[in-house]
A and B are shown apart, each in its own frame.
Chain A
């Protein structure tokens, strides 16, 4: 029986508390980041902190309003919201003004808005609805196609808006799929593909013996062989084959080395030849000895080689020079003082100079001197690190951890799959933003310009994250309505 439970009782106040704490910490950091010693109030509306205050108040209002909507509406209108958002994203490409190459901002009077912030919420809703629909099975190939459309459709449009960073966020949904039954190997293969791509591109500039191949390609091929050997030992339980493979590789390497003394031989092709030879080897073993699933290993290796080749080809031949630069920046390959390497270096110095206790509120000099770029948006965590030191940064991270764990708990306690999937979506998106943003500031992730939830300056992202979270809180509150 449904019963109307007052939202005041049903609301998960713990989450709201974490949310408010993070938002307020962010607001104070923005004030610190743009503080100049000769300006006055945190409420000065011509300043960023003052403006952020307006965003925060409006975000609270939006959050409150979302709680008043009947929870069933989100399920019923999920596809409509999704379709509307897709339309909005497409319109944005044509309507938006070109801001440094990206066409992702809609300007309505005094308000600038990035529809991609809404797109995350809409995609989460659509995903939740689709996966909770009757008869849905993740293992079904037929169901996988609409699923990837739901996730990567908006991502593709956002790439067309030239906001690659914003599009990458959609990878976070893979974590949701994993929770809902996707084979864990997909995550492993995905990670391996990223590793291969970074290796190939990043190390392709390091030549071997001047012009006889590149370190990237050879290392990439070695990774594949490494996986093969590991598979043979741990899954195939056959160390003999692993040994043969190792010896074969060694012999081919040695022979090609000697050939290269007298003739010209590109080691890239030697490496590729070695992997392809190993594929043939696995297939031969599969056919004659019927070992388990060696054909899969062969297939994996072969596609990996293909992947390496296309990655290299795509990068060198298809991409325009400015796109290549963008990827190189992503991979921290541009270490010019004006490039991304400089920014990260500056942000590390700013954080490092904070020490254990920090320099104190409003006393950070590195961020004030505007050495750190985008100090109140993407690099806001620098200010925390510099002014509040290790303890302050850890506190912020601790609150993020509390929020994430709380959301996971909320997701798991849902009775219907729709709410649970949505809950995981929210957690995954926050987690992705957090990982990329703070990782970038700490210099262990590539420079991808995505905001830190609740911290970064800007109405668009704050509203987006608030909407994402409060829809979950509304769904969660409805859980009690059904119980009684």
Chain B
């Protein structure tokens, strides 16, 4: 069986293998015995790679006001083997820590389970993110504590105590992030949420390195080859946000003492002018050493200040849904601007009207007066326009068509092309959902889902989505994905909503009427034609949520806003004045109605909300 002609090849293979091993032994002999370069050099040729941290990119608002910058911070590192004759008491005193803390910290560093990369030869972080005042004392006496070193770093500092949710914060990187990104090492800091997270790679810059020589005992002997191979850190790129810090601050101020949120968008660009969520906190409390303590407090707060309600809270839009409905009904051919329906006021059935006005009602008056029976009838007419068909198939298809058109306004899903990290999806119920809930394809009809007509029931939206719907209406049929980074590439995300231009004037007229003779008369601004809509979202956990959406001015809209104040009752009382004040600030540049502003600021709807 053995092929004899190939027998000799076994020797070729054996020779190749032997040759490699001989070459390696010769190489070892050169390195270890002949060449003295390594032998003598080794002791002084041990490198210490010292990481130089780059300053993080600065963050500006849309008017180039500096929002976030850096201040120097310091870490105290130690090399366990170099510590000797330590006067623990004076050390603790200089750092203003107690002895027990010191002992615990040393234990933690030595614990392999908590600190797997521990070596008594390499620098270990003892304390991080100390401010310049905190190390002032110890800095001069550092020579007394051999084995301890001071490392430079930077910390975030905030020019205004505002926009905590938008900006996000910076925290120590998690193990999974270290595993997934070679850039990070244990103990590094990175953006945790908000803009700091989304634009982490842009903001963080590039670390540099300084190569120092050490002797066998680990003592630093200076730079390696005069810093020939050192790499200077590269500062992070600056970021300009779309926020208007003045508007942002006003929005947060107006929400004081309340739970809720405000989103303001420039319709023509999709740029978010303000995004406030209340309760909020001063972003600077999550910086430095007090971070973890404050963070735990925020986590445990019942009012959940860490949640960005503007993008993560979901509400039934209530009557704020009506302008969008009016457009979709017209586009689907269910109604025209001349369609009238009867309204019996509070006696109407199956949907009651909360207002008293003449009957029959026109579309214009229905928007102005927020007439529920009108929208129910219009909804029914629209989704029943082709009849029901066998097994309700035609009806269900018409419903699907309606849901699809509503979703074109950015509802029911996240803005995937946006740079907002934390977003809730909202919900526009699907045909499947109703088939399941009502046990079968024939289990539900228009009357079953009547609450959808007036924005109640299963439909859920986020304040961001609501503001975006307003921007889309202000633009007469399209929106640009709402975003926070002021740059041209974001402007390319244009989405058409599939509504013909001719259907808009009546909706504009109706929404304008809300301020003239409608539900928001009290929030008029003299000399400014605004469009808006109140909403009152039913809420199973207590008082209704007060909602107001709208845009201004009516011609060439500059700002579209959604305001939600939780458990505050009727939309006109809380949300509408906030809308009005924000418009005044943005369009006129200052608030003339200071009395109104102060009154709204001092209103408290939730006594648990704390100021931070």
Contacts and interface: CB of A to CB of B under 8 A. Distances in A.
Given A46-B112, A351-B28, A368 B10 contact: no
B229 interface: yes
A442 B43 CA distance: 19
Interface string B35-49: 101110111011101
B31 interface: yes
Interface in A303-336: 336
B159 interface: no
A379 B439 CA distance: 65
Contact of A371 (B3, B33, B47, B110): B47
B9 A179 contact: yes
A438 B119 contact: no
Interface in A334-369: 336-338, 342, 346, 348-356, 365-366, 368-369
A397 interface: yes
B47 A346 contact: yes
Contacts of B10: 179, 408, 412
A385 interface: yes
B27 A401 contact: no
Contacts of B112: 39, 46-47
A231 interface: no
A334 to B, nearest CB: 12
B209 A348 contact: no
A348 B13 contact: no
A336 B20 contact: no
Given A98-B180, A179-B6, A352-B35, A369 B231 contact: no
A439 B25 CA distance: 11
Contacts of A181: 3, 6
A354 B3 CA distance: 47
A112 interface: no
A337 B42 contact: no
A362 B219 CA distance: 21
A366 B46 contact: yes
A420 B3 CA distance: 12
B297 interface: no
Interface stretch (A19-27, A67-75, A210-218, A388-396): A388-396
B293 interface: no
Contacts of A434: 20-21
Nearest to A47: B112
A393 B20 contact: no
A420 B229 CA distance: 52
B502 interface: no
A128 B301 CA distance: 67
A385 B28 contact: yes
A36 B18 contact: no
A54 B209 CA distance: 39
A179 B16 CA distance: 12
A404 interface: yes
Interface residues of B, number: 54
Nearest to A39: B112
B138 to A, nearest CB: 26
Interface in B533-564: none
Q: Is the interface of B mostly helix, strand, loop or mixed?
A: helix
A408 B14 contact: yes
Contacts of A336: 229, 231
A258 interface: no
B31 A352 contact: yes
Contacts of A355: 32-33, 39
A22 to B, nearest CB: 14
Residue with the highest number of chain B CB atoms closer than 10 Å, among A355, A405, A444: A355
A353 B49 contact: no
B211 A353 contact: no
B14 A405 contact: yes
Interface string B184-219: 000000000000000000000000010100101010
Given A175-B13, A181-B6, A368-B119, A352 B37 contact: yes
B179 interface: yes
Given A355-B39, A390-B28, A405-B14, A369 B122 contact: yes
Contacts of B1: 415-417
B182 interface: yes
Contact of B216 (A348, A365, A404, A424): A365
28 contacts: A36-B120, A38-B80, A99-B179, A100-B182, A178-B13, A337-B231, A348-B38, A349-B45, A349-B46, A351-B38, A352-B38, A353-B42, A355-B33, A365-B121, A365-B216, A371-B47, A385-B31, A390-B32, A390-B33, A394-B25, A397-B24, A400-B21, A401-B21, A405-B17, A405-B18, A415-B1, A420-B2, A427-B17
Interface of A: 36-39, 46-47, 97-100, 175, 178-181, 336-338, 342, 346, 348-356, 365-366, 368-371, 385, 389-390, 393-394, 397, 400-401, 404-405, 408, 412, 415-417, 420, 424, 427, 431, 434-435, 438-439, 442, 444
Given A390-B28, A404-B21, 19 more contacts: A36-B121, A178-B9, A181-B3, A337-B47, A337-B49, A337-B229, A342-B47, A348-B31, A351-B32, A352-B32, A365-B46, A366-B46, A393-B32, A401-B18, A405-B14, A405-B18, A412-B10, A427-B17, A442-B31
Question: Considering the complex of A and B, which 10 residue pairs feature the smallest CB-CB distances, nearest first?
Answer: A352-B38, A353-B42, A337-B229, A390-B32, A369-B121, A352-B31, A401-B21, A442-B27, A393-B28, A404-B17
